[in-house]
Amino acid sequence: MAFGITTKLHLQCSMQPAAMSRRRHAKLGHVRCAAAATTTLTSKAAVATTASARTVRSRRAPAASSASVSHMWKKVHGLEDWEGMLEPLHPVLRDEVVRYGELVRACYEALEEDRSSPKYMNCKYGKRQMLEEAGVAAAGYEVTRYIYSSSDAAVPGMEAMTSGCASWAGYVAVSTDEMTRRLGRRDVLVSFRGTVTAAEWMANLKSSLEPASFDPRDARPDVKVESGFRNVYTSTDKTCRFGCVDSCRDQLLREVSRLVASCSKTHPGEEMSITVAGHSMGGALAQLLAYDLAELGLNGDAPVTVFSFGGPRVGNAAFKARCDELGVKVLRVANAHDPVTKLPGVFLNETTTRLGPLDAMRGACYMHVGQELALDFVRFSDLGSVHDLGAYVASLKGEAAAGEVSFHHINAYAGVIAKAMEFIDRQRDAAMRVCDWFCQLA
């Protein structure tokens, strides 16, 4: 079995946290820094100038090099498994990965986390204004539907408040005519945020494998995925106050199918792509959707590509093999210091079970899908930033301006990272005992 290509980018920059009046989840900050290279802005005028420049950068049109993507978009979307594009990282591919990262970050920017708001855990903006309000006005996409997900993984002591409650998970969009000309095809985009709610955190802890069973015509019981991710993808909230009684899966299959059929009818002969992008848990949901679309044949002739940022493993060896067979392409952008990218299966995985006495366990172990674009950044005073989407995007950009990425919920999120590392240690110890047992039998 072929395994993903890995390339590491060692990007250094100077970065200090920006002072922010409001705190929000999952935009913790940046990044790998030399302590002596920090920059301090002391005057109000300098701060205002930096903030103004940052606003202009966040709302500017896509980079000029994106014009060339029209001539090589199939390679950028993994037609040749990104061969020759990862080491060194091709500038057009980098720009496209950054572009999709910004479109995922819009999910965090637009999510209402104020508990006193009637839109709590919904999108703060209407579909027409959402991308502009989230800072990507020049994205070149029209949002067609909001997506909601729920989980029946209740938090102990908070069952009534958490179990089955739906929340805004992302959106579906399609490229405008102008962007379609720049991209060389009509792009249907699905964008997912990462874990935010307590119920989602509980679902993430369900690390057991279970059959995906998405195609009723062929259940493929050997193809297994993490039960918690599948739960978020397929659960329903019949009392959803946002009017979303269907599961995340049903909403997505219906909308993507509609867009594929509509674009094929409205623009006959035009090439089309389906791009699914997500951060953290959103990267897992992206892989489930991509596999689901391809397994059911709902993508038509459009290639399906996943851009995952800080995403975990999703399924077993059979899941990986089936994704490869169906032509689902996955580019995983992973920080070497991000523990989430090493879960589940921190020890028993695609590398450790390749040879030796553990080979027989491959079918029951988690395996990454696709190719890996490995980054390497860390700020030891803020360990939570190793999983931050803003830090991922800024690292790819190679930005070094002070305050370019803001820090939010640092202490709380650092605690989550610490718990993840503790979980990794426990898994490693248990796996070592299993390995010792197998070695004694060999």
Partners of residue 306 on adjacent β-strands = 276, 330
Q: What is the pLDDT of residues 403-442, one digit of tens each?
A: 333 333 334 444 444 445 444 444 444 444 444 443 343 4
- Enumerate domains of the chain plus CATH numbers: 6-13+70-380 (3.40.50.1820)
Percent of the chain scoring above 70 in pLDDT: 69
User: What is the pLDDT, as a whole number, of residue 360?
Assistant: 56
Average pLDDT over residues 270-284: 97
User: What is the pLDDT, as a whole number, of residue 355?
Assistant: 60
User: What is the pLDDT, as a whole number, of residue 352?
Assistant: 66
User: What is the pLDDT, as a whole number, of residue 379?
Assistant: 80
Average pLDDT over residues 296-302: 96
Q: What is the pLDDT of residues 193-217, one digit of tens each?
A: 998 888 888 887 777 899 999 999 9
Any idea which of 169-178, 326-335, 432-441 has the lowest mean pLDDT? 432-441
Pair 151, 164: CB distance under 8 Å: yes
User: How many whole angstroms separate alpha carbon 157 and alpha carbon 160?
Assistant: 8
User: What is the pLDDT, as a whole number, of residue 357?
Assistant: 60
Q: What is the pLDDT of residues 84-139, one digit of tens each?
A: 999 999 999 999 999 999 999 999 999 999 999 999 999 999 999 999 999 998 99
User: How many whole angstroms separate alpha carbon 413 and alpha carbon 214?
Assistant: 33
User: What is the pLDDT, as a whole number, of residue 164?
Assistant: 55
Average pLDDT over residues 40-53: 35
User: What is the pLDDT, as a whole number, of residue 205?
Assistant: 78
User: What is the pLDDT, as a whole number, of residue 32?
Assistant: 35
User: What is the pLDDT, as a whole number, of residue 313?
Assistant: 95
Q: What is the pLDDT of residues 243-257, one digit of tens each?
A: 777 899 999 999 999
Tell me the DSSP string of 390-411.
Answer: HHHHHHHHT---TTSS---SHH
User: What is the pLDDT, as a whole number, of residue 365?
Assistant: 87
pLDDT band for position 25 (50/70/90)? very low
Work out the number of other CB atoms within 10 angstroms of the CB of residue 49.
12
Model confidence at 46: pLDDT above 90: no
Range list of β-strands (E), 18-166 = 141-149
Q: What is the pLDDT of residues 52-61, one digit of tens each?
A: 333 333 444 4
Name the DSSP class of 197: S
User: How many whole angstroms separate alpha carbon 204 and alpha carbon 227?
Assistant: 9
Write the CA distances from 161 to 114, 117, 154, 237, integer angstroms: 16, 16, 8, 12
Amino acid, single-letter form, for residue 153 = A
User: What is the pLDDT, as a whole number, of residue 362?
Assistant: 62
Q: What is the pLDDT of residues 133-168, one digit of tens each?
A: 999 989 999 999 999 998 876 666 554 444 558 899
Please identify every residue annotated as catalytic. 280, 338, 387
User: What is the pLDDT, as a whole number, of residue 237?
Assistant: 80
Any idea which of 57-66, 232-241, 331-340, 354-363 has the lowest mean pLDDT? 57-66
User: What is the pLDDT, as a whole number, of residue 10?
Assistant: 44
User: What is the pLDDT, as a whole number, of residue 439?
Assistant: 39
Mean pLDDT of the chain: 78
Helical H runs in 18-90?
Answer: 44-59, 73-76
User: How many whole angstroms separate alpha carbon 420 and alpha carbon 31?
Assistant: 19
Buried b (16+ CB within 10 A) or exposed e, 65-88: ebeebeebbebbbbeebbeebbee
